[in-house]
Structure 1
Amino acid sequence: MKSKYLAIALLLTITTPLVAQTINIKFKEIHNQFYGKWPKTITFVQKTNMYRADSLFKSQTWYEASIFPNLFRIDLGDIKDGNAIIYRGDSTYNFRKFQKMKPNVDPNILVYLLGGMYFESLEQVNKKLSIEGFDLSKAHKSNWKGRGIDIIGTTTADTTVSQLWYDSKDHYLVRMIQQKPKMRLECQFENHQKTGKIWHEGSVKIFVQNKLVQTEEYSDFKINVALNPDFFNPDKFGSWHWMKQ
């Protein structure tokens, strides 16, 4: 059984290369605020609702953990069932009933935007996000849901191009639009809370082709948790789990 999340992850692998541009001063400011300050690890519990034809068809609890900048794991439902996804850099490993499937190529841009990029230099970030279709040389200001925002990726109110929306005051990501040929992916990040020196989203809405396909609600968000690297090793799946510690 394929999760809706897997379909969304697949969409993230289709990229539109761009030549790296001069970085806008506003994005430099955002990156500088969290560069070197982001927690090395996070864990949280996620209530996931999946939609089809505008109707809810499935709800499930997921257990998620990350060692930044590029290790991330999702346990889909009860951890005793052995259904999970492990992201290691550009590779994705899927498990069904503890059985490892054939790995896929998937850099998972969301893991990068929501933490990974704060472990890399501006030049590295610019290169990676340019490949993903974001032009960091362009920006403008606007308002959304009663707060000022900085929109990176366009100088006009054009939502048909890839762009990143950041809260102007606290610099957390509130919206991502990734526009590809014949495909539009949008994520809206809400209910932000401050933990340590960072802000993290409390809920997410995911749209494909302007249709809501998934909502996520986070709880029990923790930072700098001691995580065994084996937890992200596909060859040692099932040997250790942070939920059991």
Structure 2
Amino acid sequence: MLKQLLTATVLLLTFGAANAQQPASGRELIRQMYEKNHARFYTTLTFSQEVLNYRNDSLLSKDVWHEAYLSPSNLILKFTSWDSGNGVIFANDSLYTFEKGALKSTRYRMHDLLVLGFDVNNITPEESITRTEKMGYNLNRIEPSTCMGRKAWMVGDTTSKCFWVDAETLLFLRMQERTGDNARSVEFSRYEYFDGLPVGTEVRFYRNSSRPYMVERYFNVKPNAPVSTTIFDPKKFAEVKW
């Protein structure tokens, strides 16, 4: 306990020197994220990504996915090739899964990474707060932390759901979800800027390990590209391109 208190004290002193305003809560942090970033953020994004699947340190497989994002929380993914017929759509707080062009399943799903990594910067803070709390994050809890070697704010409960935000840029860094002894986490491990717009171009996925089981690396990245709402219609999945 003493060690934990000393660690917390050191972090607080460090943050106090570097940051004049400590967010009073996760709600206040979300408001600060919006205020800092909304003027330079985007409401659409298209890209392709290399997908690397690992077991321990061994590369098992590679694939290429094609994706398009439209705020708030709309995302379409086409796996392997444009015409494979395989992929998913996130829309209307639902996940639609397709195989060979046919809709195979539909289920409720709010996408944490879309809300915290994208929408939070381009929709009103109150909307983001409502959606984040609905996903199960305790926004009453916030503390200084570090994440991938950067000073960060950690929001939520490490025994259930929490996320980290870069204390300087106020961009999303990482989320973690724990159920009993099982933990899943995802981190935006690299940001790049395209015409001054920040995009997390490397995403790492972890499950009960310090080594990722999947890594995504983006290319052909186009913020604010034309994206029509029609591509998120499940009835049109097989035919749409962007």
Q: 1:117 & 1:26 partners in 2: Cα distance?
A: 10
**Deviations along 1:187-236, whole A, 9 cap, x unmatched?**
12112112345422121111122363211111121111112322211112
What residue in structure 2 maps to residue 208 of structure 1?
207
Do structure 1's residue 94 and structure 2's residue 94 form an aligned pair? no
Aligned match of 1:73 in 76, 90, 93? 76
Q: CA deviation at 1:46?
A: 0.8
Q: 2:175 & 2:234 partners in 1: Cα distance?
A: 30
Give aligned pairs, total.
218
The structure whose Rg is larger is 2
Q: CA deviation at 1:179?
A: 2.2
What residue in structure 2 maps to residue 113 of structure 1?
116
Change (3 A) 1:129 1:228: closer
Change (3 A) 1:180 1:31: farther
Q: Which amino acid aligns with 2:232?
A: F
Q: 1:181 & 1:132 partners in 2: Cα distance?
A: 18
Q: CA deviation at 1:162?
A: 2.2
Q: CA deviation at 1:56?
A: 2.7
Do structure 1's residue 126 and structure 2's residue 125 form an aligned pair? no
TM-score, with structure 2 as normaliser:
0.79
What residue in structure 2 maps to residue 167 of structure 1?
166
TM-score, with structure 1 as normaliser:
0.78
Aligned CA-pair RMSD: 2.4
Q: 1:200 & 1:187 partners in 2: Cα distance?
A: 15
Q: 2:149 & 2:181 partners in 1: Cα distance?
A: 31
Gaps of 5+ in 2: 1-23
Change (3 A) 1:25 1:67: closer
Do structure 1's residue 232 and structure 2's residue 232 form an aligned pair? yes
Equivalent pair of 1:230/1:239 in contact (CA under 8 Å)? no
Q: CA deviation at 1:54?
A: 5.3
Change (3 A) 1:197 1:180: farther
Q: CA deviation at 1:135?
A: 1.8
What residue in structure 1 maps to residue 49 of structure 2?
46
Change (3 A) 1:100 1:60: same
Q: 2:228 & 2:147 partners in 1: Cα distance?
A: 40
Identical residues among aligned pairs (%): 22
Q: 2:196 & 2:142 partners in 1: Cα distance?
A: 25
Q: Which amino acid aligns with 2:156?
A: G
Change (3 A) 1:106 1:27: closer
Say which is worse superposed, 175-184 or 199-208, in terms of deviation: 175-184
Aligned match of 2:37 in 34, 39, 56? 34
